[in-house]
Amino acid sequence: MSVHSAFKKVTTHSLQQMKKQQEKISMLTAYDYSFAKLFDESGIDVILVGDSAANVMAGHETTLPITLDQMIYHGQSVVRAVKRALVVVDLPFGSYQSNSSLALASAIRIMKETGAHAVKLEGGEEVLESINAIVKAGIPVMGHLGLTPQSIYQFGSYTVRAKDEDEANALKKNIQLLQDAGCFAVVLEKIPAALAKEVTESISIPTIGIGAGKYCDGQVLVMHDMLGINTEFKPRFLRQYLQLHEQITNAVQQYISDVKENQFPSDKESY
Ligand code: KIV
């Protein structure tokens, strides 16, 4: 039996045990009750209520506009569905960067009002005080390094991060700081696979990659991307497991045609 199937409920400790026993961690985003229930029943280890909800649920160009209240709404919907997976909710832009008291208050709201098991936030040294305050309050924190979408206007583009030595060295230092501060895992987004391998081997907490190669301790994808609901977003790292855009379009067009031609409902579908 794999380690993960032995867990009735996945906890932050389960993830660390999985790293030790070299069992990969599976993580997907979800933002609502129905998909969270499907993913949990399918056996996913971690569900991330990502601030990518700003993009895929609300249609914003970046993750910056989503609010703490909106993240809490998505978190509540997901938590209601989940029996086994670890649920992590993103702290949105502006809810933790300015000072550690605000960060702690935001994290406490997420934990109290959603029933989630952990929070995630982006950044290294610059948000260390916030991480310290949240961890000290007993709230598990997942870090996020590499391409951090809340800093997109600083980066200027969504290209691969930490390709040059300075940025790679900064990432190596930051991941150590996150581990020392008590983070239970770290997302590594869009960095070279060799760097992800090196830092994964250098720390005892799990790394979860997205566009960071196969040596991370786990992988995460945004559900709309992996299910093929979006057609415009096709980065190299993305594997589409379904083409739902095409299948849903066909189904809706068939429905429209059935309604127009009075083929739906039939006598059997009527009372
Ligand atoms: O918000 C999100 O979906 C994320 C993942 C891309 C890791 O942070």
Dist CA 206 CA 19 (whole Å): 6
pLDDT tens for residues 180-237? 999 999 999 999 999 999 999 999 999 999 999 999 999 999 999 999 998 888 999 9
Ligand 1 pocket member 29 (CB < 6 A): yes
Q: What is the mean pLDDT of residues 118-126?
A: 98
How far, in Å, is the centroid of ligand 1 from the Cα of 222?
A: 7
Alpha-carbon distances of 13 from 9, 128, 266, rounded to whole Å: 11, 22, 54
Q: What are phi and psi of 25, to 5 degrees?
A: -100, 130
User: Measuring CA to CA, how many Å separate 9 from each of 15, 115, 145, 185, 197?
Assistant: 11, 14, 27, 17, 28
> What is the 190 CA–ligand 1 centroid distance (Å)?
11
Q: What is the pLDDT of residue 103?
A: 98
Residue nearest to atom 8 of ligand 1 (CA): 50
**What is the amino acid identity at position 55?**
N
pLDDT digit string, tens, across residues 168-180: 999 999 999 999 9
Contact 182, 135 (CB under 8 A): yes
Question: What integer pLDDT is reported at residue 232 of this predicted model?
Answer: 86
Task: Please give the model's pTM, rounded to 2 decimal places.
Answer: 0.97
**CA-CA distance, 86 to 109, in Å (whole number)?**
18
Average pLDDT over residues 108-116: 98
On average, the pLDDT of the chain sits at 97
Residue 145 has pLDDT above 70, yes or no: yes
The yes-or-no verdict on residue 125 having pLDDT over 70 is: yes
The protein residue whose alpha carbon is closest to atom 4 in ligand 1 is 50
What is the CB-side half-sphere exposure of residue 249 using CA atoms within 13 A? 8
The dihedral built from the CA positions of residue 56, 196, 168 and 100, taken in this order, carries a sign that is positive
Q: Note the CATH number of domain 3-240.
A: 3.20.20.60
Specify the range with the lowest mean pLDDT, choosing from 39-48, 72-81, 83-92, 226-235: 226-235
- For a mutational test of ligand 1's pocket, the pick from 74, 121, 187, 190, i.e. the residue with the most ligand atoms closer than 8 A to its C-beta, is 187
Among 122, 189, 201, 246, which one carries the catalytic annotation? Answer: 189
Q: Where are the domains of the chain?
A: 3-240, 244-271
189 an active-site residue?
Answer: yes
pLDDT at 94 over 70: yes
